[in-house]
Amino acid sequence: MLEIFYKQKGQLVTTSEIEALDNLGYDDILWIDLTSPTGEEKRAIEEYLNTTLQSRAQAEEIESSSRYSESETTIFANTNFLIPGPEEYTMEAVSFIICEGIIVSIKHVALRSFTDVQRRLVANYRSMQTGYHILIGILENRIDLDADMIELMSKEIASFSKRVGHGGQMGEEFILDINQLQENTMLVRENIVDKQRMISSILKSDKFPRDVYNKLNVLIKDVNSLINHTNFSFERLEYLQNTVLGLINLEQNRIMKIFTFVSLLFMPPTVIASIYGMNVDLPMMGGLIDFAIIMTIMLVSVVTASILFRRKKMM
């Protein structure tokens, strides 16, 4: 599926018809957005711009250090867009090509950043007059969404911390939730670092209009602050995880201490019972009074052991 955004008589018009390219010049088109494009659509765009579009596999295989490149007439940029899910996040590879001032975007799922920028473009296309401005607009929107995700994750971490502070239930499931949040935090950081590299590459380029560089400088500062925030969130999760594991170990030690105390407490009566369980003649084995005396001795041994444990602060 594709959507073409082009200027006509001072207004912005959109179309999904690939045949519209036959009647449009380079100065007319601003943006060609491709979502899971067919082979026919890709060939038509390649022929129109005299360039080559990357496949999804090629975009995913490109090393992070080589995600941005330029030729004499074309800019190629590849980045990942983070998609939040109910529990875990996923990465979606997106490719951008800017040729003759026209931006071509290739993605395989609907992304909110693109929808928001398209809405802004339709409302006032003069605010983004070229494909270069549209790319910067998409990056701005994406970074704002990343900041919102980090804020939500911070609130979730704070709720976990309160749960630990109030002595809530902390078992295997709680530790797994913390681990999943750590994985999501690492993905968010990886996603932001990817944008940082892309913006840094654009800042080194001399092909972009001069009026976008002020925005790029602001964006790189925002990205750096988000990276610091994700680092802090990850460290906070590690501290929280260590605290939970420490509390679980303390609880296990307390339980083992009780079992040890009970075992030691009944050791003297067990010894006495074992002696009188032997098949030999022993004193005080004649009748009911002897039984009462032996039980009294066993009880006294239990009380004595308990007093000794308490004095030694073992309980």
Q: In this structure, what DSSP letter does residue 78 have?
A: E
The pLDDT tens digits of the residues spanning 154-168 come to 888 888 888 877 776
| Beta-carbon contacts of residue 301 (< 8 Å; ≥ 6 apart) | 268, 269, 272
Phi, psi of 124 (to 5 degrees): -155, 90
Mean pLDDT of 182-205: 87
What's this model's pTM, rounded to 2 decimal places?
0.75
Could you identify the residue written with the tokens 């701005």?
Answer: 140
226-230 contacts: CB < 8 A, separation 24 or more?
Answer: 226/143, 226/146, 226/147, 226/150, 226/192, 227/189, 227/192, 227/193, 227/196, 229/150, 229/154, 230/150, 230/185, 230/188, 230/189, 230/192
The CATH code belonging to domain 2-248 is 3.30.460.20
The pLDDT tens digits of the residues spanning 245-291 come to 777 787 778 888 777 777 777 777 777 776 666 654 556 566 667 66
Phi, psi of 34 (to 5 degrees): -110, 130
- Are the C-beta atoms of 275 and 301 separated by less than 8 Å? no
| Beta-carbon contacts of residue 45 (< 8 Å; ≥ 6 apart) | 2, 21, 32, 34, 37, 53, 104
The dihedral sign for the CA sequence 58, 142, 129, 44: positive
Report how far residue 263's alpha carbon sits from residue 172's, in angstroms, rounded to the nearest whole number. 29
